[in-house]
Structure 1
């Protein structure tokens, strides 16, 4: 019975159903623990020897963390240093200094795209929040289309940050899929960026222009003052808005690490910040321009804008080098060097060290301040790293128990496009569990045995599709949904029409462009 393909495929679906139940049950079991419990029970039900199960779980968790966990930790350190040094503030200044009704949404799209490369979704949004509010307030006062500019500026940021978070390494989700499917990380980054650019444009400024006049978002005066340091009545002075745009800029790592910390508390359809912000927003932002905001403002003035962009892009460029060298100079001496520096771990180490030296000197941060910034960044990603480990254990059980081979046998006659299959599994599990990472690790484990003799390009496109699927249908059981809702005082309906719809559009467009590129694979 244990070796019967029908039984094993049924066991796979039963284990997924149990995982969804445990995460969504009234006890809200943490995804890490839920994954381990399901992995243990699945191994037992598949007939794996009891003495072999611990080794399977340890090998799966440790093997996945061997590279992915290190890269995630380094990425968190880089993102926190960029925020604490004021580098992100310098990038965000571009929006404030060049904002107009026509250019502001597009500039915000570009800035959010760059910021989203090294930062988790909520971390990047928290860092950009003062800029979003300040630019929106300024445009509200200077132009005759009130109650529209908040969404015109916010939606491009959501689209860019979520797209990069789900589709492009070195974010943890895509890295998990890269590792599980054996994809080339440089090629995946290149193809992911090609898919991401049109996706963000369509789901960001284009959709914002359509939906903004239909949803009259009106954040409370408390929220506006919290993020801009000025009241709406005083916002007529564009210079004052620009001067205070960075008042709320601060370190953001402690609040989030993707969608996997569990659902934030919310209250149905009420307007969730009438007298203040929700739990997520209030913990992420000061009530006004205090000492921390002034210090960040001071450091930001000392960091050149070009240096801020370079520090963000160094690790990504290094990871792209290998893919480019393979194309233009395959089997040359340069390929070995490119392969070494393009390894995600090496690229991130170089990027973090470069940023520490460059930003430390520019922002006049001493060694103690840099170490403090790095140390405080790690607590925010503990949950993500644990979920990655749990997902690795689950995937190893699927392999060792023969469930993966059973899936190959059961689906070999269906001839379903693996890009579509990966996307479909990713979006269903992400929606059902409230965790993008759970969706990615589970989809990767299910699809991996089906990937046999496909080209490197096609495998990278499967990675992008799985990541795209994990972004979609981000609704009430995702912490990111409540974070956006409460930070802008939205009703449940407003958050559904904006945040959830934007991320679902990103998911669908990401799949569409992956399928288009697959015609060339």
Structure 2
């Protein structure tokens, strides 16, 4: 019965969001109440369970998430992302233009959320495609691949940050392993698959895109921050968290003491501290050093948070549903089903996330709901690498983007694709990201 109740809850969530066009957060809360009562949670405890789910999920990640949004907005508004993209494209040249777009988007995508990356880089892609007389899709697919890969695997993006927190995984290690998985995955899906897709849906390459997405803020290159400063600012949180993660790997192997240097590295390598220091750096490099008034910089930070409100609520709603599943005993029930199973925890987490992603559309909601089902099972499985389970969950949450995913429609419209062309390009591409991410994570599981 618990799994039947979960299935009905998921179906109801799909009906509310897609059928009745209800707000995702409202739908999640309504379904959480219904599932909680159906699972037999006492009436007096239902509200507390939902509150605990929202608070527990947002308590740790809101700081990272909020400062990450402000960091990305500062880089974007200063023209740093524009400088990164234009410089790399210029250096790589016309023959390797797809590689240039892919790496520019990967660097920008670490600091910017998926939707922001697409909106910010689409105008640059348009102008280059027009100048080189090539299809917008030729450059658009590597760009959206990089945006999706960073969204699925790399903190401070909401999905990997939230699920790492739920599993109790080290966010720095998730980032390091995520980069190792993300790069070959992006090459497979963003460079190699488009060559095949051109034969499957050749009409997509005749698209001229949507002009509404091509008109965005323009920058004079000489007025933007330098390439080196822009890249350093975007990657600074990665550098700090990687230092902390490296220390966590090396210290047990070598066995040195917790001296002052180790304590300092561990302090600055903490994900929250790293994001705070990176934000301060961005305020200087993207603003104060360029004589931008502090008031204008703070307005940029405020606008970043204003656009974040509903997304934070949706993440909290996903956490509420996750907590209800745990408190209602669904996780324990699933754990009993898999008791004694030799199934890899990495594969198990990926499978659950992939199913939920296909049903729910939102990758972030799918990751958080997966945590509620997977967490109790992890305790029954030996030698669980929590960081890789978090990555596998992210990979599963990228699979088969289709009509119930807002990102699907954004890619379809920005690249000017028909529904059939969008399925043949982005839906397949996202599935390659999910499956490749799983394969590379399983390979890492053998190594580490």
**Where on the TM-score scale, by shorter chain, does this alignment land: which range?**
over 0.9
Of the three residues 489, 497, 507, the one matched with 2:424 is 497
1:459 to 1:138, Cα distance in 2 relative to 1, 3 A: same
For residues 84-108 of structure 1, give each alpha carbon's deviation from its aligned partner in whole angstroms, at most 9, with x where no partner exists: 1111111012144235342211111
8 Å CA contact 1:329, 1:335 repeated in 2: no
For residues 55-80 of structure 1, give each alpha carbon's deviation from its aligned partner in whole angstroms, at most 9, with x where no partner exists: 22112111111111221111111111
* Gapped regions of structure 1 (runs ≥ 5): 1-6, 141-147, 224-272, 287-291
* Residue 159, structure 1, aligned to residue 145, structure 2: yes
TM-score w.r.t. length of structure 1: 0.80
Matches within 5 A, 1:32-181: 32-140=25-133, 149-181=135-167
Query: How far does residue 197 in structure 1 lie from its aligned partner after superposition?
Result: 0.9
Instruction: Kindly report structure 1 stretches of 4+ aligned residues shifted beyond 4 Å.
Output: 453-457
8 Å CA contact 1:155, 1:499 repeated in 2: yes
Matches within 5 A, 1:80-479: 80-140=73-133, 149-212=135-198, 215-216=202-203, 217-220=205-208, 273=210, 276-277=211-212, 281=213, 285-286=215-216, 293=218, 296-297=219-220, 301-330=223-252, 331-333=257-259, 334-452=261-379, 458-479=385-406
3-state SS of paired residue (1:117): helix
Query: How far does residue 494 in structure 1 lie from its aligned partner after superposition?
Result: 1.7
| d(CA) in 2 for partners of 1:455, 1:80 | 42
| d(CA) in 2 for partners of 1:332, 1:455 | 29
Query: How far does residue 207 in structure 1 lie from its aligned partner after superposition?
Result: 1.7
1:19 to 1:414, Cα distance in 2 relative to 1, 3 A: farther
| d(CA) in 1 for partners of 2:62, 2:88 | 33
Query: How far does residue 10 in structure 1 lie from its aligned partner after superposition?
Result: 3.4
Of the three residues 18, 23, 48, the one matched with 2:12 is 18
8 Å CA contact 2:83, 2:224 repeated in 1: no
Matched positions, count: 441
TM-score w.r.t. length of structure 2: 0.92
For residues 314-359 of structure 1, give each alpha carbon's deviation from its aligned partner in whole angstroms, at most 9, with x where no partner exists: 1111111211112223452244333322222211111111100121
8 Å CA contact 1:151, 1:212 repeated in 2: no
Query: How far does residue 367 in structure 1 lie from its aligned partner after superposition?
Result: 1.0
3-state SS of paired residue (1:337): helix
8 Å CA contact 2:288, 2:294 repeated in 1: no
8 Å CA contact 2:10, 2:359 repeated in 1: no
Which 10-residue stretch deviates more, 490-499 or 304-313?
Answer: 490-499
3-state SS of paired residue (1:29): coil
| d(CA) in 2 for partners of 1:382, 1:446 | 27
| d(CA) in 1 for partners of 2:393, 2:441 | 10
| d(CA) in 1 for partners of 2:335, 2:269 | 32
| d(CA) in 2 for partners of 1:386, 1:158 | 25
| d(CA) in 2 for partners of 1:519, 1:458 | 11
3-state SS of paired residue (1:416): coil
8 Å CA contact 1:152, 1:209 repeated in 2: no
8 Å CA contact 2:352, 2:396 repeated in 1: yes
For residues 174-206 of structure 1, give each alpha carbon's deviation from its aligned partner in whole angstroms, at most 9, with x where no partner exists: 011101111111111111111111111111112
| d(CA) in 2 for partners of 1:362, 1:454 | 52
In proportion to residue count, which structure has more helix? Answer: 2
